[in-house]
A and B are shown apart, each in its own frame.
Chain A
Amino acid sequence: MDNSRLEMLVEELGASEQEGKLWRKLLPGAVSGATGNNLRETLREPLLGLLQELGETALGAKLKLVIERVPTFPTAELLPLVLELCGELRHDSEQAVRELKHMLSELATPIIRIWTDVLLVPLIGSLDSDRAQVMSERLLERASATRAKVVVVDVTGVPMIDTLVGGFFIEMFSAVKLLGAEVILTGIKPEIAHTLVKLGVDFRMVAIARDLEDALRRAIAMVEEERRQQRQITWGRGSNFSGEGGEHNDL
């Protein structure tokens, strides 16, 4: 294929500058007479570039034109290569989707230390099994590492709670309690309260607050109460620490 024919063809393809470069690389390689692996290697890079530049549909249309104009174009050789490249691209995009999902799950479940020994978990979006598990694991690790006394779970951003999601919550709350922390649940909308009762899901193991303000107030009260008890014990033990096992004096 000589240069002028190549340029005519590229022009006929209506290629932009970047695209034109790729065609100029692809076309001479395609009709150079190489076969097998050599041909595949030469075509691979420009073809991948064109796929990314144009997308499958536009590239298909343009290749049809090329095949009409260039009788020696190795169509049969090209087919498996194109399929292979499409597969690779799809694999890449699937990988990207996975990473995005992972990122989303991290973003959608921040765990905020909102007060001394109090963690806030504002849940946003719908929950599936995987996301719920990841979330529980992160929350548990964090609560354990920070020795949180109270975990406030705000479900204002959760669109729906069915039996399955209700089950996740019950598991998560029970697990938090096994660490020795308390759970306060808030943000249950009327329609969710309605479904929960109809489904027979009661969150009896946790305290429930009417809004975030109420939840925070109660959390702080719990933390203060524990501190007060602690002071009493230290004082009480100071006065009767004899190892006798005598009754503790209430101060």
Chain B
Amino acid sequence: MTFKERVVPTIRVGDCLLVPIQIDLDDKTVEQLQAQLLAEIQEQRVRAIILDVRMVEVIDSYISYTLSETAAMARLMGCRAVICGIRPPVALTLAQMGIELQGFLVARDLEHALNLVYSP
């Protein structure tokens, strides 16, 4: 995967891939992110991806749907998907719309995320 194809820089921690999303997601970037993560899961043979969305201010139905899709695809490749750092206003908005972020384990922070990755 070339540098240019990456929309989000990732960090390998142990056998996890940490994905700190520092940009505002829109339809195109979230689709690119999906492609990037699937490629990286295969290349790096990680056991989990951890999405940190602390900086993301809006998650609407399409973004959450694409993220959930990515989680389901990761699962099919034997990889867990954890999402952490959802902002309170975003959590309230998602909950009010009835969106559940299926396929993700939800963590408070990175420490908790790692905990979920290694739990049975």
* Real binding pair: yes
Instruction: Give chain A residues whose Cβ lies under 8 Å from the Cβ of B118.
Output: 229, 232-233, 236-237, 248
Which residue on chain A has the smallest CB distance to residue B82? A180
- How many B residues touch the partner, as a band? 20 to 34
Which of A178, A237, A245 sits near B91, CB closer than 8 Å?
A178
Instruction: Give chain A residues whose Cβ lies under 8 Å from the Cβ of B84.
Output: 180
Report Cα–Cα, A178/B90, bound state, in Å: 9
Stretch from A14-22, A93-101, A167-175 contacting the other chain: A167-175
Known A-B contacts A140-B91, A226-B115; the reply to A174 vs B15 at CB < 8 A is no
Report Cα–Cα, A197/B21, bound state, in Å: 41
**Cβ distance B82 to chain A, nearest Cβ, rounded Å:** 9
Report Cα–Cα, A136/B118, bound state, in Å: 31
Instruction: Give chain B residues whose Cβ lies under 8 Å from the Cβ of A232.
Output: 118
Q: Chain A contact residues: over half helix, strand or loop, or mixed?
A: helix
Which residue on chain A has the smallest CB distance to residue B106? A180
Contact call A171/B106, Cβ cutoff below 8 A: no
Identify 11 residue pairs between A and B in the complex whose beta-carbon atoms are under 8 Å apart, listed by A's number. Answer: A137-B88, A137-B92, A140-B91, A175-B92, A175-B95, A176-B91, A178-B91, A179-B86, A180-B86, A180-B107, A181-B108
Beyond A175-B92, A180-B84, A245-B47, list 19 extra A-B contacts (CB 8 Å): A137-B89, A137-B92, A140-B92, A147-B109, A175-B95, A175-B96, A178-B91, A180-B86, A180-B106, A180-B112, A229-B115, A229-B119, A230-B115, A233-B118, A236-B118, A243-B15, A245-B15, A246-B15, A248-B118
Give B contacts to A, CB under 8 Å: 12, 14-15, 45-47, 84, 86-92, 94-96, 100-101, 106-109, 111-112, 114-115, 118-120
